[in-house]
């Protein structure tokens, strides 16, 4: 039998003897190799073993593995390998020469001679420290996320592109009384009204187009008949191809905030009512004077035709008082927050009726320009009246010597209706303009600083925008854009 021979064909003329071939094999492998004899002494290690553990051949050859740190179960495994049993891919922890801990996948197998007799043990080592650390970090992150989702009061959901809920946090039961298993697998549409579902579809489309998170608000009635207001932030989840494949929704119970907002709005509403009271009283006093005079005439007049004329005048004046009082009461009385189909022109006209006495007192003329007559939108008319009253009242107060307020109503592109309210007042300084809308910030001596804050909040809830343009000495224009329904 030849002791040396070519192994790689005629292209490689190098002749390798068995020992050289073994060295070549051991030095080229990606795993650490160690050969231990039947007396547990190291016979051979390769370069990769040194790279993994830091020990050189001078440190190991001729010494037993008992002289080095090993797990307690290793001697028992070695004994079984000597009896012919093999162990593969055992995950263990070993020490580097410098004392640091390593995660190692090790395999043991018997080394037999040509007669089948076991003459040594082969141990193959692979350093998996980085992979195990990554798995540990992943598990820690997963545990942390589970800890957060299981203990947070926020309601966390994951939905796919078809709006099917694939995950729901346990917090749903605390907030709305539904367990995760009652939610997962169902479509999110089942928990929404048709109008809310349409809004959600628009929000998800905007996320797919822009990648930006969107907010949706929802009113729930729990199993124990409590009303809960929630706010959901929908964000995209991307796959490895940077494509949006699902959405995560983080919902929060904002019932307390809604109640606080309602308190602030009522405070603002009462403030407006109080400030308009003098104008309304003046406006009612005029028809009351007429009523008083014609009532006395009726007592002395015997002419039936004149009596009918007097009664007609009295009825007209009573209708006028009734209109003024009803509009005033609709402003002063808190209304249920409910969105209905409303005509923008009617809302503005109704608002002007309320503010008209105040305008007369201050010698202010209100001029309207409605380019479109039927501009319908989904809204809460009472809230929008409060918004426009704030703007008109501010305009009147900015013109102490009188002037004109121009109200323009027109259709814009993309299904938007634009309302602009302009005055000829003193205007606002540029450095103060940026603070407008901040709670309790006001430019008036007797203002409470809530009007613009409340107005902006209401407009946002109507999915609209508000913009204020002002130049000192030239007046102010407030521009509001709202979604318009298709007519």
Q: Which domain-ending residue is among 232, 253, 274?
A: 253
Helix or strand or coil: residue 188?
A: helix
Pair 312, 412 in one domain: yes
Mark whether 116 and 171 lie in a shared domain: no
Q: How many CB atoms lie within 10 A of CB 161?
A: 11
> Do 294 and 192 share a structural domain?
no
Residues 290 and 362 in one domain: yes
How many domains, in total, are found in the chain? 3
Q: Is the dihedral of CA 190, 191, 192, 197 positive or negative?
A: negative
pLDDT of residue 448: 35
Which residue range is the domain that position 182 belongs to? 152-253
pTM: 0.40
Q: pLDDT band for position 325 (50/70/90)?
A: low
Assess contact for 387 and 376: CB atoms under 8 A: no
**Considering the domain boundaries, does residue 25 fall inside one?**
no
- HSE of 334, CA atoms in CB hemisphere, 13 A: 10
Is the pLDDT confidence value at 35 over 60?
Answer: yes
Same domain, 458 and 312: yes
> Do 249 and 325 fall within a single domain?
no
Residues 123 and 159 in one domain: no
| Predicted confidence (pLDDT) at residue 445 exceeds the cutoff of 50 | no
Q: What is the pLDDT of residue 120?
A: 92
Closest CA to 423 of 330, 359, 340, 341: 359
Find the range with the poorest average confidence among 306-310, 344-348, 361-365. 306-310
Reported as a single tens digit per residue, the pLDDT across 98-109 is 989 999 999 999
User: Is position 146 within any domain?
Assistant: no
pLDDT at residue number 212? 86
Burial class (CB in 10 A: 0-12, 13-18, 19+), 52: buried
pLDDT one-digit tens code per residue, 263-319: 655 555 555 555 556 556 655 666 676 666 667 767 777 777 777 776 777 777 777
For residues 372 and 477, membership in a common domain is answered with: yes
Give the pLDDT band of residue 439 (cuts 50, 70, 90). Answer: very low
Q: Looking at the predicted structure, is the pLDDT value of residue 440 above 50?
A: no
In a domain? residue 5 = no
pLDDT at 36 over 80: yes
Q: Which CATH number goes with the domain that contains 468?
A: 3.30.565.10
Which of 253, 277, 303 is the last residue in one of the domains?
Answer: 253
Asked whether residue 441 carries a pLDDT value surpassing 60, the answer given is no
379 & 396 share domain: yes
What average pLDDT does the segment 325-329 reach?
A: 60
Q: What is the CA radius of gyration of the chain?
A: 42
In a domain, 147, yes or no: no
| Dihedral over Cα of 157, 161, 162, 166: its sign | negative
pLDDT tens, position by position, 72-97: 888 899 999 999 999 998 999 999 99
pLDDT of residue 133: 86
| CATH code of the domain in which 237 resides | 3.30.450.20
Query: Last residue of some domain: 233, 253, 273?
Result: 253
């Amino acid at each position: 039998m030849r002791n040396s021979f070519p192994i790689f064909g005629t292209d490689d003329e190098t002749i390798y003897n068995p020992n050289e071939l073994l060295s070549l094999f051991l030095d080229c492998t990606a795993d650490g190799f160690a050969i231990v004899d039947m007396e547990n002494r190291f016979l051979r290690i390769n370069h990769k073993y040194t790279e993994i553990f830091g020990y050189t051949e001078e440190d190991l050859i001729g010494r037993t593995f008992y002289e080095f740190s090993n797990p307690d179960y290793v001697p028992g495994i070695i004994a079984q390998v000597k009896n012919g049993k093999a162990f593969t891919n055992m995950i263990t922890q070993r020490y580097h020469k410098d004392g640091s801990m390593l995660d190692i996948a090790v395999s043991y197998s018997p080394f037999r001679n040509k007669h089948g007799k076991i003459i040594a043990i082969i141990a193959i080592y692979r350093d998996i420290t980085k992979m195990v650390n990554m798995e540990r970090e992943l598990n820690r992150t997963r545990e942390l996320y589970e800890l957060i989702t299981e203990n947070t009061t926020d309601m966390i959901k994951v939905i796919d592109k078809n709006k099917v809920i694939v995950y729901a946090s346990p917090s749903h039961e605390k907030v709305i009384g539904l367990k995760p298993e009652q939610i997962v697998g169902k479509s999110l549409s089942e928990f929404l009204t048709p109008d809310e579902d349409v809004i959600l579809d628009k929000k998800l489309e905007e996320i797919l187009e822009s990648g930006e998170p969107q907010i949706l608000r929802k009113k729930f009635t729990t199993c124990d008949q409590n009303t809960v207001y929630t706010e959901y932030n929908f964000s995209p989840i991307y796959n490895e191809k940077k494509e949006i494949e699902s959405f995560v929704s983080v919902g929060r119970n904002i019932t307390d905030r809604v109640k606080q907002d309602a308190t602030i709005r009522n405070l603002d509403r009462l403030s407006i009512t109080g400030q308009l009271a003098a104008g309304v009283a003046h406006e009612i006093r005029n028809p009351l004077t007429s009523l008083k005079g014609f009532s006395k005439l009726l007592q002395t007049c015997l002419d039936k035709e004149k009596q009918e004329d007097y009664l007609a005048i009295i009825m007209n004046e009573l209708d006028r008082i009734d209109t003024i009082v009803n509009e005033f009461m609709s402003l002063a009385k808190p209304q249920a927050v409910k969105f209905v189909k409303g005509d923008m022109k009617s809302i503005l006209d109704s608002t002007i009726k309320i503010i008209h006495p105040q305008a007369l007192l201050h010698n202010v003329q209100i001029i309207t320009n409605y380019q479109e007559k039927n501009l319908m939108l989904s809204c809460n008319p009472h809230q929008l009246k409060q918004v426009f009253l704030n703007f008109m009242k501010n305009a009147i107060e900015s013109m102490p010597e009188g002037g004109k307020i121009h109200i323009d109503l027109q259709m814009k592109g993309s299904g938007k209706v634009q309302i602009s309210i302009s005055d000829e007042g003193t205007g606002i300084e540029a450095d103060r303009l940026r603070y407008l809308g901040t709670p309790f910030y006001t430019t008036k001596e007797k203002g409470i600083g809530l009007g613009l804050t409340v107005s902006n909040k209401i407009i946002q809830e109507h999915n609209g925008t508000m913009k204020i343009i002002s130049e000192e000495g030239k007046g102010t224009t407030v521009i509001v854009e709202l979604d318009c329904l298709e007519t």
